[in-house]
Structure 1
Amino acid sequence: MKAKDFQEATAQRIFEVLKKEGQNRVLLADEVGLGKTIIAKTVIEKVSQWHKDDLKDDFFKVVYICSNANIAKQNSRKLGIPKKNCVEVSQGRLSMQHIKIYMQESEDHDYMQLIPLTPITSFATVKSSGSVSERALMYALLMRMDCFKDMNGFKDFMSNNTKAFYEWAMEYYEGQVIQCDDICGNRYILEMVEALNKKISPELIEKIRERSSLAKLEESYNNNDILTELRTIFAHISLDKLEPDLVIMDEFQNFRQLLHAENETGMIVEKFLKHDSTKVLLLSATPYKPYSTIEEISENNDEEHYVEFMQVMDFIFTDEVKRKNFREVWNNYSNKLIEFKNKDYTTLRICKNEAEDAMYQGVCRTERFNVNKNGIIDDSQAREIEIEQGDIISYVKTQSLLKDIGASNIPIDYVKSCPYLLSFMNQYKQKREIVNYFNKHKDYSLLNKRKDLFLNRNQIQNYKEIPMNNARLENLKEMLFQGGRNGFEKLLWIPTSKPYYVTNSLFDKNSNASKVLVFSSWEMVPKMIAGMMTYEVERLTVGKLYNSETEKAGKGYFTEDVKRKFLRPRLIEERTQTLTLASKSLADMFNPLEYIGKDIKDIKVELEKKVAEKLNEIKTKCGIGESQRGDVSWYVDAPRIWDGENLEDNHGDMPMDAAKVITNMIIGSPAVCGMRIFKDNNMAEKLGELFVSLFNKPESIAAVDLFYGKRSERTYYKNVLAYLVDGNIQAVLDEYSHTLGVKASDLLEQISEGMNLRTSTSEIDTYDSFTGQRKKSGLRAHFAVGYYNAKGDDENIQRTENIRTAFNSPFRPFVLATTSIGQEGLDFHLNCRKIIHWNLPANPIDLEQREGRINRFKCLAIRQNIAKKYGDIAFRQDIWEEMFNEASKQEKGNNSDLVPYWSLPNTDEDTIKIERIVPMYPMSKDQVKYNRLIKVLSLYRLTLGQPRQEELLSILGKSFEQAENIDDLFINLSPFKRRIREVED
């Protein structure tokens, strides 16, 4: 993606600071969602070209440090360095970087390299054995040292009781070491052994010898302490070789802790950040806490916001003169702000401008609030909801149970957030106390009248309706399914923002639909929402079919045996070919742009006529007729003939519906759509195979059957084709391709990642499992998923990355429930414009961070509005590029490119908006809390970098009630806006 005008202006400013002003540290603090990564990409281009042309560098290394591996995976693709020159995040551990560095230093290396590092995968050396790959690579090098060559048990010691270690890792990394040594002219092994001999002490070697002798005798022996030392040694060797030209630190909200870490993290960070010799670009809307509440200040016993602010500014301004000047100017501004009266407005503005200029020497920030006064956020659903009887019963019964066993009281917010607490409240203090009590007493009579604190397994097994027992959950259920009136449960993808044709199907009736992003304070909530909403979808689809069947022996929700499942795959063998045949002739017979806005019925009539004529030619040539039960292979073989293939003449009559089926293939077969997208047979076929997998899932089969009100395994593929046509799948894929912004194999790879999220299962307690009568039950999640596990292991990192990618696709999951882990740095905006604050955050900045996940570049709300206003223009080739170009001509005016890609200058009641949903309990503090958050959000920029902001805002709020030009007192660090201001002045 090419940088927009305000992004280019910012990148140019950062480049000038680094090159011309002799400062190696810059903070890019753009408001969340405005494309800091794209600016970083542009900075990389400018700085690397400078190094290449002026400094004559032959190898430009970028180290990209971010807060977790999911952000690293998401943004590595966006930084503009070719994929082959980007170290995989799974290979991003510092202890392993040395081998990639040596390989890249071969004579034929490319100019740029990107190395992503994260605290979990790269810095977490404390008390950890590391990954299998780390230990395998370390072993491959250590075994070449004289002291380890013949050490008994050393191999077992390094395996650390990991069976997989023996199966693949050692063999693979032995080969990698040999290959790297060959590439580097036999330097790698020699230099690594020399470095290890210098860094590994005799005392450590002796420790390893002692542990190795015990490795086989004590299988459960933990070697983490020694392995941690080895990992740290290898990490330091990598750091010695790294020598980055540019370090990018992205989304470090815990920047203060990072800089002051005293463990291995601190030692590693010191290599990059404790000296001014390395160019560092910080990317974060909140590198320090932009706002601190009185409660937060009291809890931390300091003015946390102000302290963090000054620490970051001290880090940026390493020059003592600049640092001293900034502090003096800022203190002067702070004093004037505290003493402010309306009559001092001009004086305050002068002081503000001086402080702004001083800060601008090392900080850039663009915000959208000045561009879009009216806003694109609709908060009409921030309101009280109707309380459920189940809420009250749940609270009373849980509280009485805890009282009976002498345990802690249940926080009322738990009950307001989650029903069936004994099923979902794992790892919480109250649940542990309950478990411990009954483990000790073995008398479950106290639970007999409280069984409804658990989910009922028998009801779930038979797809019976489960009461929500929670007002927020009931509100979410109604929003999604509207009591079954909208048929949302039958949709397998979100309808396109710009359909090519009209179908009058459920897709058209849900034309402005959106995925839903839910934020909660409690980790049990995402798990609960994922399980409960997915079950509701299965109940409304699979359950409907299940309860209409007479023969159900051995089947039901909890059936684990695939052969006994209620709905088994139907697209098998030749039935799949109507979805996987990549036919150029079929692709060429339909140009969607020629049919914009037309009724699908009329389009089919026109195409069927053309297809029938071509089929008649085949029938005449082969001397065959047509019949009700004709040879179904003609559905695929006729297009093959049109593509120029020579087929054997061993076919029977053509089916009477051949023209109809082939017409549906022309319009909706994913492989044919893929031909129009990729112009490549192999990629188009692979796209078709992805849809075969999608439509073979039980929930998809049920959705298609209910969509058309008929069941037939033999002709299911015909219904699938009809479903693809009704779902405007070509338009869906074209819009998806546009939002991803990539082409060819990269596009296919990302579509595949977006469609391949596997169903997960989370264990829940039922009454029977809690009392030991059966094992825990597994609740599935696919329509809705939870994004909450903060563990840093490779499997969880991959799972959470898959969830993010799938949620950004048009396909399921349609609901993503998360905690603060999903609050920073990740984008969820491509198909979501509804955000639910299940629990309100304490700090207003957290509210802004949450909504920044979906209020981003070309987000769903923007695309839906652009399609609504400019969907009738004459199209030539790329409808999305052309609609946005027209919108820019009509609406941008004197604004930056924030319009129309992020914001709209004029909004009204007809504007499709981002929906801020805050389900508040009656008579609670939620409304007061919400009002305070919104008020602070409108003014906190005024008190940027001030101590005790909440008190200051309270005082200033009264002074500014009549002020018309309060915006003039907001700190303006936008290079684009400052450039315009300079021109105007």
Structure 2
Amino acid sequence: MELAPFQSRTVEVASEVLKASGSRRFLVADEVGLGKTVIARTIAQRLQTGRRRLNVMYLCPSLEIAGQNRPKFVSLTGIDPEQYDPGGDRLALVPGWLPEEGNGFRVFTFTPETSLPGWKPGPRTGRKAERELIRSALDRFPALLSAVKRLDRERAAGGRRLLADRGDLNGFTAAGIERAMRDVFDCPSESIEKAAMKWLDREDVDIVEFVGRFRSVLALAALRLRTVKPDLVVLDEFHRYADLIIPKTETSNVPLKQERARIHRLLVEALLGGDERPAVLLLSATPYRLRRLGGDEIHEVDHYRSLIDLAGFLADDDSRRAAVEDAMREYHRALQTTGTRDAIRASVLAAKERLEALLRPLMARTERALVHKEDLFDRENPQVSVETQDLVVFKHFAEAAGSEFAGWAPAMWTSIPYPAQTMQGYKVWKSLKTARPAPIEAGSGKGSLAHPQLRHLAQLVGDPGHLSLPWQPPTVAWWRLEGPWSSRRPLPGKTLLFSRWRGAPTAISALLSINLFGGLRKPKEKAPVPLLRPGGSETGALVGLFMPWPNLPLAIEPQKSSGTTLTSVRADARRQLEAYLLAKRIRVDGTEKRPTWIVAAGIEREINGTTYQGVSRLAAKATRGAKAKNWSDLPKINRVSPAEVAALSEHLLSSPGSILARCLVRHGVPQHRPRDRQRTFAFSWESLRPYLGHRVFADLIQSSSKKKRYPDALADAMLKGGFEAVLDEQMCLLSRLGDAEGLEIVEQLSAGLLDRPGLVQFRRGKANHRVPVQAVTPFASGEQSRGGKKGGRRLRSDTLRRAFNSPFWPHMLCTTSIGQEGLDFHLWCSRIVHWDLPGDPVDFEQREGRIARYGSLAVRRSLAREHGAPSLAATRGASPFGELISLARRIDSDRTGLERWWLPAEGRPTSVSFDWRFSHRAARRDRMLEDLLYYRLALGQPDPEAFVAMLRRVGADETGGRELAIDLSAISRVSAASG
């Protein structure tokens, strides 16, 4: 990914600070969606120059964010992320299991909650592997070991002991562990064993507290090792764990709490300080809303004090912190200035320039408001009305919930549809289970939904036919699409939904999925058998459908023009194939009508026997156990009939395997080695085939095709739905706008396909059901499992994120605040639904920032309108969507680089929130959006309201207030210097 000018300038400014002497700390506070992680990766490259190795330690608040962003840092090593060995995932485990090293980089990725023992309050016994290391470390202290064993036995009382097994202390040193023990147990000189035993004799500690304390010992010892100690620490979304850098003052006199606070400081000093302190790069779009571990804000009222505290940490200088605080107060006073407009402006400008001078060496922030004065979204606010059936559901729920939950009933009912059927896991569920069933229940798959918002949402995301689409249409169609993808049929596209209640995503997913499948299955009814399963005499034809033939697919380069019909595309493909066969000295005559896959196999064998041997080996593995012909026995073919040519050209144009083969060539994915072809065929046969075999797809595809057999109808749909254009676009997103190269593109394609549905609990009457959810699915909430008699492994949120960022299922993702910060959902989604309004403007921006990002669907649609036609006229064999990207990049960039790739020239994404008749929701939303405008303009101001009031006094509206607002962008410093 090429850096935009604003990103390049941010990299330069930050690198200068992090390379220099001094605190070597910097904050990149760019607005949501502006590529802070890419900036961080480039900064790491700058810092590594001239060094043998750079240890990069990346910390973020959740495994979901880690899973998304780790590959961006792993790409520094030059190692395939799918093959990369990340090493131990806890600090204590790292010395014995170091991450793989490459290109002078070693990358560690952690979440502080799991990897910094003692940081989160309360006992934490860690993983078994950590406790095994503790057991081994105690061997040097027999008396302490004996005491620990006794306490462990007493706690276990015949059960599993915490310290039963030994581990391998490889990578640690005895001296390093002892030094860490002395620091943790506060024993500078006397016998550390006696000091630890004395501590263990206290009444306020137990074996669990000891294990937590010794986990801190191992983490501290690990951080002090040269192989582990970071050279660059990247703290991503750090505002969610800000007490890592701004520890809470422990005011309690309780010794245990005082000790935990001291150990916290020890770990932070080892991580961020020391004689050879690392460079520290902070990333956060909302760094002025710093939160403690429990979610409480560090400064709940005066948010600007968080900025002052942050400046103190970045400068590592109390005097600089005091200067920033003084400048903040001066700026606040300037906002209150009275007098003439010129006097007010002069006072504000002087105060803001002083504050900028203090903050710019510490941080940089780029905002879209620098170049874009309008709202980033088209806002839809449909009005919903309560109907009689809705009130029946509410009345039953309120009565069943009882007096204990009476105050919560309206809020829960408005957000969670059919609560008596969907609120598993809530405390109120105990009452709901014992109550009589609701007089109106969902689950039949028929009739109107009894929830105001859900009725409108069902219209918004489309009928079952829309949700049954196996893939979204391409941004640039190569020809006139037909069938379910026809432009004459409005397609709703993908939807990202945010709610505040965790029960809403599972309820919405279940209810819309029930409608998709036409109602709940009967008790003990088996799921319908998927299609495209191998077996019987048709297995050879099925394998041929998904086989990426090495030569024949390249005989055809589909015709491309927005107005071209499929009839024209098919005729042109046949002409190209006939010319190719003649060039290969394969005669076209006769009247034979052999199976198309046998004809393709025979010609491939005639063209190149060596590559055909690889094909036959792949086919042999796929057809093992089936009653199918042996591919290695198929004869060469050097003569075909016109009828066979017609069937073969249709096969090469429309079969998934042949489409994939052409796309691999366009994107330079190697296919020279047998291993390369094996991995590609594995994607086609083991991932794409099962996905396309869903019965729901079959109902839709066969209803719009004259072909009776599903494989034939599917091939027909490949053309009608522009599957080759879709695949080309997705491969471009993974490579040219992402970091994937070569076979990694194929691996990421495979990761974007959900082969099996998740399961969500749903109650109807007295019976519990599990609803399969795949087209509409909850994200990181509710019960979602895959395979296995007991539910199998959980459907990981990272898998869902990858799938949603593909053109395939799910078409709708429902989430809570867990998907609100740090995650990307923008590649194929341009609509966000606020099922419940967020708590404040910051949350509003975080939600909408999930899809208003670099190269988003809305941006690509805008580029397609400008460059779509010339991109389709690209050089034969090139990637049309890659050509579109190249055309867009060849246009002279704007000053910042924001306009082209972050701000669509036309066709903004859509933001939907619901207006309930006779409610205050519309007024609250409007106030919040106004606050959001002020938030963007006045971010970091000591008093946003005073800032806006000042703008009005001087006659400047909000769009012109940028001159008087604090501007910390790196790109503006270039303009100032040149001016």
Structure 1 match to 2:598: 633
Q: Determine helix, strand or coil for the equivalent of 1:465.
A: coil
Q: Determine helix, strand or coil for the equivalent of 2:661.
A: helix
**How far apart are the structure 2 equivalents of 1:793 and 1:632?**
37
* Change over 3 Å in CA distance of 1:613–1:654 after alignment to 2: same
**How far apart are the structure 2 equivalents of 1:281 and 1:44?**
10
Structure 1 position 239 matched with structure 2 position 223: yes
Structure 2 match to 1:869: 866
Structure 1 position 523 matched with structure 2 position 502: yes
Q: Determine helix, strand or coil for the equivalent of 1:98.
A: coil
Q: Determine helix, strand or coil for the equivalent of 1:633.
A: helix
Structure 2 match to 1:116: 109
Q: Which letter does structure 1 place at the counterpart of 2:395? A: V
- Residues 874-902 of structure 1: CA deviation (Å, up to 9, x unaligned): 42334334324433555x56432112111
Structure 1 position 745 matched with structure 2 position 743: yes
Structure 1 match to 2:39: 39
Structure 2 match to 1:218: none
* Change over 3 Å in CA distance of 1:82–1:592 after alignment to 2: farther
> How do 1:772-783 residues align onto structure 2 when only pairs under 5 Å count?
776-783=768-775
Moved more, 382-391 or 738-747: 382-391
In the alignment, is the contact (CA less than 8 A) between 1:490 and 1:704 conserved in 2?
no
Structure 2 match to 1:398: 397
Structure 2 match to 1:896: 896
| Percent identity of equivalent pairs | 23
**How far apart are the structure 2 equivalents of 1:193 and 1:840?**
51
> How do 1:84-123 residues align onto structure 2 when only pairs under 5 Å count?
84=79, 91-101=88-98, 111-123=104-116
**How far apart are the structure 2 equivalents of 1:592 and 1:162?**
67
Moved more, 86-95 or 497-506: 86-95
In the alignment, is the contact (CA less than 8 A) between 1:316 and 1:362 conserved in 2?
yes
Moved more, 80-89 or 502-511: 80-89
In the alignment, is the contact (CA less than 8 A) between 1:33 and 1:852 conserved in 2?
yes
Q: Determine helix, strand or coil for the equivalent of 1:809.
A: coil
* Change over 3 Å in CA distance of 1:209–1:615 after alignment to 2: farther
Could you tell me which runs of 5 or more consecutive residues in structure 2 were left unpaired when the two chains were aligned. 186-191, 249-259, 614-631, 672-676, 787-791
CA displacement at 1:62 relative to structure 2:
1.0
* Change over 3 Å in CA distance of 1:587–1:621 after alignment to 2: closer
Structure 1 match to 2:252: none
* Change over 3 Å in CA distance of 1:621–1:604 after alignment to 2: closer
CA displacement at 1:970 relative to structure 2:
2.0
Structure 1 match to 2:247: 260
* Change over 3 Å in CA distance of 1:864–1:366 after alignment to 2: same
CA displacement at 1:426 relative to structure 2:
2.9
CA displacement at 1:606 relative to structure 2:
2.4
CA displacement at 1:692 relative to structure 2:
0.9
Structure 2 match to 1:883: 884
In the alignment, is the contact (CA less than 8 A) between 1:694 and 1:700 conserved in 2?
no
CA displacement at 1:325 relative to structure 2:
2.7
**How far apart are the structure 1 equivalents of 2:549 and 2:156?**
51
Q: State how many pairs are aligned.
A: 891
> How do 1:58-77 residues align onto structure 2 when only pairs under 5 Å count?
58-77=52-71
In the alignment, is the contact (CA less than 8 A) between 2:314 and 2:362 conserved in 1?
yes
Q: Which letter does structure 1 place at the counterpart of 2:779? A: Y
**How far apart are the structure 2 equivalents of 1:371 and 1:121?**
41
> How do 1:201-600 residues align onto structure 2 when only pairs under 5 Å count?
225=209, 227-241=211-225, 242-258=228-244, 259-260=246-247, 267-273=266-272, 277-289=277-289, 303-339=301-337, 342-343=341-342, 344-379=344-379, 381-402=380-401, 408-434=406-432, 438=434, 444=435, 447=436, 450-452=438-440, 454-456=441-443, 459=444, 464-465=445-446, 467-481=448-462, 483=463, 487-509=465-487, 513-539=492-518, 557=521, 565=528, 567=530, 569-572=532-535, 573-592=539-558, 598-600=564-566
In the alignment, is the contact (CA less than 8 A) between 1:28 and 1:282 conserved in 2?
yes
Structure 1 position 688 matched with structure 2 position 672: no
In the alignment, is the contact (CA less than 8 A) between 1:154 and 1:209 conserved in 2?
no
Q: Which letter does structure 2 place at the counterpart of 1:882? A: E
**How far apart are the structure 2 equivalents of 1:112 and 1:145?**
37
Q: Which letter does structure 1 place at the counterpart of 2:912? A: I
Q: Which letter does structure 2 place at the counterpart of 1:751? A: L
CA displacement at 1:691 relative to structure 2:
1.2
Q: Which letter does structure 1 place at the counterpart of 2:329? A: N
Structure 1 match to 2:571: 605
In the alignment, is the contact (CA less than 8 A) between 2:233 and 2:280 conserved in 1?
yes
Structure 1 position 727 matched with structure 2 position 725: no
CA displacement at 1:847 relative to structure 2:
0.7
CA displacement at 1:35 relative to structure 2:
0.5
Structure 2 match to 1:823: 820
CA displacement at 1:195 relative to structure 2:
7.3
* Change over 3 Å in CA distance of 1:665–1:238 after alignment to 2: farther
In the alignment, is the contact (CA less than 8 A) between 2:804 and 2:811 conserved in 1?
yes
**How far apart are the structure 1 equivalents of 2:159 and 2:483?**
54
* Change over 3 Å in CA distance of 1:406–1:424 after alignment to 2: same
TM-score by length of 1: 0.80
Could you tell me which runs of 5 or more consecutive residues in structure 1 were left unpaired when the two chains were aligned. 182-186, 211-221, 439-443, 544-555, 770-775
Q: Which letter does structure 2 place at the counterpart of 1:29? A: A
Moved more, 88-97 or 470-479: 88-97
CA displacement at 1:649 relative to structure 2:
6.0
CA displacement at 1:94 relative to structure 2:
1.6
* Change over 3 Å in CA distance of 1:660–1:954 after alignment to 2: farther
Q: Which letter does structure 2 place at the counterpart of 1:233? A: V
**How far apart are the structure 1 equivalents of 2:128 and 2:159?**
8
* Change over 3 Å in CA distance of 1:64–1:511 after alignment to 2: farther
- Residues 424-464 of structure 1: CA deviation (Å, up to 9, x unaligned): 223434434545xx4xxxxx5xx25x342x544xx3xxxx3
Structure 2 match to 1:25: 25
Q: Determine helix, strand or coil for the equivalent of 2:770.
A: strand
Q: Which letter does structure 2 place at the counterpart of 1:532? A: L
Indicate the structure with greater helix content: 1
**How far apart are the structure 1 equivalents of 2:87 and 2:700?**
37
Q: Which letter does structure 2 place at the counterpart of 1:967? A: R
**How far apart are the structure 1 equivalents of 2:760 and 2:869?**
47
Q: Which letter does structure 2 place at the counterpart of 1:867? A: A
In the alignment, is the contact (CA less than 8 A) between 1:630 and 1:656 conserved in 2?
no
Moved more, 746-755 or 83-92: 83-92
**How far apart are the structure 2 equivalents of 1:860 and 1:21?**
43
Q: Which letter does structure 1 place at the counterpart of 2:126? A: G
Structure 1 position 973 matched with structure 2 position 968: yes
In the alignment, is the contact (CA less than 8 A) between 2:592 and 2:640 conserved in 1?
yes
In the alignment, is the contact (CA less than 8 A) between 1:135 and 1:159 conserved in 2?
no
> How do 1:804-823 residues align onto structure 2 when only pairs under 5 Å count?
804-823=801-820
Q: Determine helix, strand or coil for the equivalent of 2:390.
A: helix
**How far apart are the structure 1 equivalents of 2:41 and 2:719?**
39
Moved more, 824-833 or 577-586: 577-586
**How far apart are the structure 1 equivalents of 2:661 and 2:199?**
59
**How far apart are the structure 2 equivalents of 1:757 and 1:531?**
18
In the alignment, is the contact (CA less than 8 A) between 2:863 and 2:888 conserved in 1?
yes
